[in-house]
Amino acid sequence: MQFSDQPSKLKSAIQLAIVSLSLSAISNAAIAEEQTSEVISLKEISVVGKAESDTKPVKGYNAKKSRTATKTETDLKDTPQSISVVTQDVIKDQSIQSISEAVRYVPGVTASQGEGNRDAINFRGAGVTTGDFYQDGVRDDIQTYRDLYNTDRIEVLRGSNAMIFGRGGSGGVINRVSKEAGWDPVRELSMSYGAYNQKRATIDIGNAINEVAAFRLNAVYEDSDSYRDGVNLERYGLTPTITIKPSDATKIVLSAEYFKDDRIGDRGMPSTGTGFKNRPYNIGDHSTFFGSARLSPNETETTAFNAMIEHAFDNGVTVRNRTRYADYDKYYQNVYARDRVKNGTVELGAYRDDTQRQNLINQTDVTYNLKTGGLEHRLLAGMELGRQDTDNTRRSPSMANDNIVGPSGTVSAENPVFTGTLNLNNLRTNLRSATTNTAFYVQDQIILSPKWEMVLGLRHDRFDVDLTNFNGATPAARNLSATDNKLSPRAGLIFKPLENLSLYASYSQSFVPRAGDQLTSLTTSTASLTPEKFINHEVGAKFDLNPDLSLTAAVYKLERENIAITDPTPGVNNQILVDGQETKGIELGVSGKVTDNWSIFGGYAFQDAEITKDQAKAFISSGAALAQTPRNTFSLWNRYDFNDTWGAAIGVISRSDMYAAVPTSTTSTILPGYTRVDAAVYGKLDKNLRLQLNLENLTNKEYALSAHNNNNIVPGSPLTARATLIYNF
CA distance 594 to 663: 42
Q: Is it the case that residue 13 has pLDDT exceeding 90?
A: no
Residue 711: what pLDDT? 94
**In the predicted model, what is the mean pLDDT of residues 405-432?**
85
Alpha helices (H) in 432-497, listed in sequence order = 475-478
How many CA atoms lie less than 13 Å away from 484 in the CB half-sphere?
Answer: 30
Residue 169: what pLDDT? 72
- Measuring CA to CA, which residue among 478, 479, 639 is closest to residue 93? 639
Q: How confident is the model at residue 364 (pLDDT cuts 50, 70, 90)?
A: very high
CA distance 406 to 419: 14
- Measuring CA to CA, which residue among 332, 333, 343, 341 is closest to residue 288? 341
Question: Rounded to the nearest 5°, which phi and psi values hold at 90?
Answer: -65, -45
CA distance 45 to 184: 13
* Distances in whole angstroms, Cα of residue 219 to Cα of each of 103, 253, 593: 23, 18, 31
Residue 468: what pLDDT? 94
Q: Is it the case that residue 39 has pLDDT exceeding 50?
A: no
Residue 167: what pLDDT? 87
3-state helix, strand, coil in the chain (%, to 5): 10, 55, 35
**In the predicted model, what is the mean pLDDT of residues 272-294?**
90
How many CB atoms are located within 10 Å of the residue 513 CB?
Answer: 27
Q: Is it the case that residue 28 has pLDDT exceeding 50?
A: no
Query: Which element (helix H / strand E) includes 633?
Result: strand 632-641
Cα 498 from chain centroid (whole Å): 34
Residue 520: what pLDDT? 77
pLDDT in tens, 470-521: 998 888 889 999 899 999 999 999 999 999 999 999 999 998 887 777 777 7
CA distance 268 to 231: 11
CA distance 579 to 597: 51
Largest CA distance in the chain: 84
* Distances in whole angstroms, Cα of residue 122 to Cα of each of 15, 269, 498, 622: 35, 21, 34, 21
pLDDT in tens, 105-127: 999 999 999 999 999 999 999 98
Region of 179 on the Ramachandran plot (φ > 0 left; ψ -120 to 50 alpha; else beta)? beta
The torsion of the CA quartet 107, 109, 110, 114, rounded to 10 degrees, works out to: -150
Query: Which element (helix H / strand E) includes 355?
Result: strand 348-372
CA distance 221 to 260: 10
pLDDT in tens, 163-215: 999 888 789 999 999 999 999 999 999 999 999 999 999 999 999 999 999 99
The 10 Å CB-count burial string (b at 16+, else e) for 461-473 is bebbbbbebeebe
Q: Is it the case that residue 580 has pLDDT exceeding 90?
A: no
Q: Is the pTM of this model over 0.85?
A: yes
* Local structure of residue 285 (DSSP, 8 states): -
Q: How confident is the model at residue 54 (pLDDT cuts 50, 70, 90)?
A: low
Whether residue 547 has a cis bond before it, omega within 30° of 0 = no
Four-way CATH pick for 65-728: 2.40.170.20, 1.20.1070.10, 2.170.150.70, 3.40.50.20: 2.40.170.20
Residue 8: what pLDDT? 55
81 close to 159: Cβ distance less than 8 angstroms: yes
Q: How confident is the model at residue 532 (pLDDT cuts 50, 70, 90)?
A: confident
CA distance 462 to 665: 39
578 close to 618: Cβ distance less than 8 angstroms: yes
Give the pairing type, strands 186-194 and 704-709: unpaired
**In the predicted model, what is the mean pLDDT of residues 389-406?**
84
Q: Which residues pair with 263 in a beta bridge?
A: 233, 298
- What residue segments make up the domains of the chain, in order of their start? 65-728
Residue 514: what pLDDT? 78
Q: Which residues pair with 692 in a beta bridge?
A: 682, 724
* Distances in whole angstroms, Cα of residue 723 to Cα of each of 93, 192, 372, 504, 661: 12, 6, 58, 43, 37
Residue 402: what pLDDT? 78
Q: Is it the case that residue 245 has pLDDT exceeding 80?
A: yes
CA distance 618 to 525: 17
Residue 571: what pLDDT? 63
Residue 488, C-beta contacts closer than 8 angstroms, at least 6 positions apart:
162, 163, 166, 458, 459, 460, 461, 508, 509, 510, 511
Query: Among 203-217, 239-253, 401-415, 710-724, which is the least confidently predicted range?
Result: 401-415
Residue 568: what pLDDT? 58
Residue 379: what pLDDT? 98
Q: Is the dihedral of CA 546, 547, 550, 554 positive or negative?
A: positive
Residue 27: what pLDDT? 42
Task: Decide: helix, strand or coil at residue 419.
Answer: coil
Q: Is the dihedral of CA 658, 661, 665, 666 positive or negative?
A: negative
Cα 667 from chain centroid (whole Å): 30
Q: Is the dihedral of CA 88, 264, 4, 325 positive or negative?
A: negative
Give the pairing type, strands 172-178 and 133-135: parallel
718 close to 286: Cβ distance less than 8 angstroms: yes
Query: Which element (helix H / strand E) includes 24?
Result: helix 6-34
CA angle, corner 44, sides to 38 and 49, nearest 5?
120
The 10 Å CB-count burial string (b at 16+, else e) for 39-69 is eeeeeeeeeeeeeeebbebbebbbbbbbbbb
Residues in the chain: 729
How many CB atoms are located within 10 Å of the residue 9 CB?
Answer: 10
pLDDT in tens, 615-636: 766 677 888 999 999 999 999 9
- Measuring CA to CA, which residue among 200, 19, 197 is closest to residue 98? 200
213 close to 244: Cβ distance less than 8 angstroms: yes
Q: What type of residue sits at position 519? A: L
Query: Mean pLDDT over all residues of the chain?
Result: 89
Q: What type of residue sits at position 7? A: P
